[in-house]
Structure 1
Amino acid sequence: MPSTHAIAAQIYEFVRTENLAEGSHLPAQMLADRLRVSRSPVNQALQLLHDRGVLQRVPNRGYFVSGALADSGVADAQGLQLDDSNALDDTYFRIAEDVLQDRLPIDVTETMLRAKYGLTGAQMTQVLNRIAQEGWVSRKPGYGWTFSSMLRTPDSLLQSYRLRLALEPAALLEPGFRMDAAVLARCRAAEEHLLEGGIETDSAAQIHERGVRFHESLVEASGNPFFIETIKRVNRVRRLLSYRSMKDRERYVEHCHQHLEILSLIEAGKLKAASDALRMHLSSTLRNLERIAGLLAS
């Protein structure tokens, strides 16, 4: 189980990534479901954020985003002393790189990883729990951990994108497709934030999360639970690879404009055109995978 500080940092990042406005309610159960933890540590994390002055607590109603947290100029999670996320992010990416380059065995122990990456036991557990939630490591019965072979080959990477290409445009054509105005506005604000400088200043994790939330929001609007569960599973696993493309951030300018075009078409009720635009967007990414697949070739 991640520490209270770590969960508080995740909640903090969720609010910032989703651009939640002042006064937005943060239901404990919703956060627990999203972070895959129980409500008790979420409530403790919410209280910690309240103690830091970035959440408001209303008796018998819960916690709400305060003006300080909604303000884009507020200190980051590190500045609020929520956790040592920068160091843990660095270790996460180092492990991912070592897995992709076959510099780590399939089976590992926490003791071996702690010695290799210089983390405490609690920090190593936090990193491994994050990786486990994303689907590319699992705890072995009894002792140790096993890295998944999924997405370690060029073929499996291409297959994951072909699945998205088949699924996501179809989601926009589902009979029950409906995207709330508030979700549209939040997605548009996220893209505009990137175009206004976030591409250069946001962390790799933040940029990845914004992209994930855009595509998952489209699929969630389909109302089809099978589509939604499938795309979320794919997104959890492909995190292992996505950060590598952050070295070339120029392509995100085009991605943002494509995302904004799709949102405009949806808002105008032109779902067939939006589906076609989404297919073109994903196809373009698929055509660029040859370079990434080369990085994964053993």
Structure 2
Amino acid sequence: MSVDTTIPKQIVELIKTEAWGPGSHLPAQMLADRLRVSRQPVNAALALLHEKGLLTRERNRGYFLAKPVTEPLSDVVSRLGLAESDLVTHTYFQIAEDLLKGELPQEFSEQLIKNRYGLTASQLNAVLSRIAREGWAERKPGYGWTFSAMLSTPDSLLQSYRLRLALEPAALLEPGYRLDPKVLEQCRATELHLLNNGIMSASTDELHDRGVRFHESLVEASGNAFFIDTIRRVNRVRRLLSYRSMKQRERYQEHCRQHLHILDLLERERNEEASAFMREHLLHTMKSLSKIKDILKSKG
């Protein structure tokens, strides 16, 4: 049966990244905060990982890691049966592409998606669950679904960057700004991995999510709940055009180097310089996107 395995896979990746050992407690709220999702999908993911033997569960205490996770992530995911089917992944991206081409109606039924893409009921559920969680479609009250009207044109993506241009540099100047050293090192390790051939080998999902985690981590260190909520919302709804922009990845090496420079400045508590350079970084990205507008445009 095809189920949405995104959150379970992210939890396994976090276990590996953090090098958590057997007996480590995995509180649902902590994981929800780290993965920037609600507790509901995290609780479902923990229950699934418990069923598969990776976790133990103690009454009134929660879930704990049952065994070490030492193999490569792809091997762990395969062993646990968490690899999303090729058809589900392909259909997810095909729906995104068809939506951007204007080939899907704004409002749609599950039957339309099931018939158009030849899905089983479980595959349909996996695809729509992922789309809904990522914020570019939602179930209507009563019957049917609707796609988000936001970010369906190249100009929309640039507008989202103008919002970020106003928000992210300001977040770095918030009183009491503090980027946890452990988070800083995780961000740095990710950027170095991408520069070491990771840019071309990463999936579209991985590349998008790593960029999102970098920028959200820096904004979260501001402690300003309004900034944090806004950056999370804009990142959820810009995903569609972000995917299409990744068809040309050559620009990402410079992005990684710029990210590393911002981290170096923040580590030395030179926040004013980091803020100014964050503005330059976002302007550089907007300039890059303007050069690939043809990729972002609907082909329909």
Per the normalisation by structure 2, the TM-score is 0.87
Q: How does 1:129-278 map to 2 (within 5 A)?
A: 129-278=129-278
Matched ranges for 1:66-85 at <5 A: 67-69=68-70, 71-72=71-72, 75=75, 77-85=77-85
Partner Cα separation in structure 1 for residue 67 and residue 105 of structure 2: 46
Deviation of the 1:208 alpha carbon: 0.8
Matched residue of 2:130: which SS?
helix
Question: Is the 2:245–2:289 contact (alpha carbons within 8 Å) kept by the matching residues of 1?
Answer: no
Larger displacement relative to structure 2 (244-253 or 32-41): 32-41
* Amino acid paired to 2:119: L
5+ residue gaps, structure 2:
none
Give the SS at the match of 2:138: strand
The answer to whether the aligner puts 1:20 opposite 2:18 as a matched pair is: yes
| Residue of structure 1 equivalent to 2:47 | 44
Give the secondary-structure state (helix, strand or coil) at the position aligned to 2:246.
Answer: helix
Q: CA deviation at 1:241?
A: 1.2
Query: In structure 1, what is the equivalent of residue 65 of structure 2?
Result: 64
Kept in 1: contact 2:26–2:65 (CA 8 A)? yes
State how 1:111-130 maps to structure 2 within 5 Å: 111-130=111-130
Q: Distance in 1 between matches of 2:69 and 2:56?
A: 10
Evaluate the alpha carbon distance shift between residue 85 and residue 177 of structure 1 in structure 2; reply closer, same or farther with a 3 A threshold: farther
**CA distance in structure 2 between the aligned counterparts of 1:86 and 1:264, rounded to whole angstroms:** 39
3-state SS of 1:62 partner: strand
**Aligned equivalents of 1:257, 1:4: Cα separation in 2:** 34
Distance 1:74 1:22 in 2: 18
**What's the CA shift for 1:240?**
1.0
The letter of the residue matching 2:20 is E
The separation in 2 between residues aligned to 1:65 and 1:176, in whole angstroms, is 38
Across the aligned residues of Structure 1 and Structure 2, the Cα RMSD in angstroms comes to: 2.6
What is the number of residues matched between the two proteins? Answer: 291
Aligned mates of 1:285, 1:4 — CA distance in 2: 32
Comparing 270-279 with 25-34, greater Cα deviation is found at: 25-34
- Residue 290 of structure 1: CA displacement? 2.2
Identity in percent? 54
Superposed CA offset, 1:155-203 (max 9, x none): 3222111000110011000012100110001101111111122112111
Contact 1:191–1:259 (CA<8 Å) still a contact in 2? yes
Query: What SS class does the counterpart of residue 65 from structure 2 fall into?
Result: strand
Asked if structure 2 preserves the Cα contact closer than 8 Å seen for 1:4 and 1:41, the reply is: no
Distance (Å, rounded) in 2 between the aligned partners of 1:140 and 1:218 = 34
SS at match of 1:288: helix
Q: Note closer, same or farther for the CA distance 1:103–1:240 as it changes in structure 2 (3 Å cut).
A: same
> What letter is aligned with 2:46?
N
Letter in 2 for 1:63: F
Give the letter aligned to residue 167 of structure 1.
Answer: L
Q: Are the equivalent residues in 2 in contact too, given 1:169–1:278 (CA < 8 A)?
A: yes
Structure 2 counterpart of 1:236, one-letter code: R
Q: Partner residue of 1:99?
A: 99
Whole-angstrom distance in 1 between the partners of 2:167 and 2:45: 33
The SS at the match of 1:146 is strand
Change (3 A) 1:25 1:165: farther
Amino acid at match of 2:64: Y
Task: Give the secondary structure class of the aligned counterpart of 2:75.
Answer: coil
Give how far 1:154 is off. 3.1
Q: 1:138 to 1:96 in 2, by over 3 A?
A: same
Distance in 2, matches of 1:271 and 1:12, equals 33
Q: CA deviation at 1:244?
A: 1.4
User: Displacement of 1:143 after TM fit?
Assistant: 1.5
